Amino acid sequence: MHNTNSLPTRKWWATQVTAVTGLLTSWIVVDEWNQQLSIAAVTLVGQALVGYLIPNTAAPESAPESKDSVGSTK
């Protein structure tokens, strides 16, 4: 299943702005691009792709965390 909406959500954009801001701040602090910043950039791209591809949907009813199986007083 993939995201049926063609545009990312506002929550997705907010997380990306936060992540990119952190990367840029680190770059300013170290005053040069280095291997650690490259690793952080690759990680940022990976989490952005995963966040975009995984839909924001509720857990299926058969999941162990569903309301019926946790804290049920039946």
Q: What is the pLDDT of residues 19-40, one digit of tens each?
A: 999 999 999 999 999 999 999 9
Looking at residue 57, its pLDDT comes to: 77
Looking at residue 22, its pLDDT comes to: 97
Q: DSSP letter at 2? A: -
The amino acid sitting at 64 is P
The C-alpha R_g of the chain, in whole angstroms, comes to 18
Q: Is 71 exposed, middle or buried (0-12, 13-18, 19+ CB in 10 A)?
A: exposed
39: left (phi over 0), alpha (psi -120 to 50) or beta: alpha
State if pTM tops 0.75. Answer: no
